[in-house]
Structure 1
Amino acid sequence: MNITYRIVQHDGGWAYKLGDSFSETFPNHAAALAAATAAAREQRVPDRTAWIEYEDASGQWITERADGHDRPTTAVED
């Protein structure tokens, strides 16, 4: 899986965006870029395998095994 964080102007400042989700707003571009770079780096760190639960768009609860070693490839687009 590949994920890309994008640096964007948002809510009177700068943020990074993944899909339709925005980070908190930062006062300047450099701060948003540093935060996105840190988030991208953290996404690549392996973790332990665990069972996760989440609710899908139709309201159904899903339980699935999340492999903690199956980490995405990340990038930051400025």
Structure 2
Amino acid sequence: MTKVVYKIVPHDGGWAYRLGDVFSETFPSRSDAMQAARIVAAEQQVGGEPEEISWQDDKGVWHSEHSDGGDRPEAEVQDGDGEQAGAR
């Protein structure tokens, strides 16, 4: 199973959650960023209906695949210092 980790970090004079190199909007407090990240992490784990997915890779090649709707990643939220904050 794939696992995604949202990290709470300082960003643009406030706080944000980050996944890889992508930052969320900036929140005024660490607590606000943590709350938003927990919501996003919970939503990330919700399954959907089976469907066909088309996507383009970084070389411009299109791919098609079937998603059964239940193949959702495990999601976790960590404070910027690496402390796990849960996905509740």
TM over 0.5: yes
What aligned pairs does 1:1-78 form with structure 2 within 5 A after superposition? 1-78=2-79
Q: CA RMSD in A?
A: 1.0
Mapped to 2, the partners of 1:51 and 1:10 lie a distance apart of 36
Q: Could you tell me which runs of 5 or more consecutive residues in structure 2 were left unpaired when the two chains were aligned.
A: 80-88
Q: Could you tell me which runs of 5 or more consecutive residues in structure 1 were left unpaired when the two chains were aligned.
A: none
- After superposition, give the CA deviation of every residue in 1:7-56 in whole Å (9 maximum; x if it has no partner): 01111211101111111111111110000000000111111111112211
DSSP 3-state at the match of 2:54: strand
Give every structure 1 segment of 4 or more consecutive aligned residues whose post-TM-superposition deviation is greater than 4 Å: none
Mapped to 1, the partners of 2:31 and 2:24 lie a distance apart of 14
Residue identity in the other structure for 2:71: D
Q: Percent identity?
A: 49
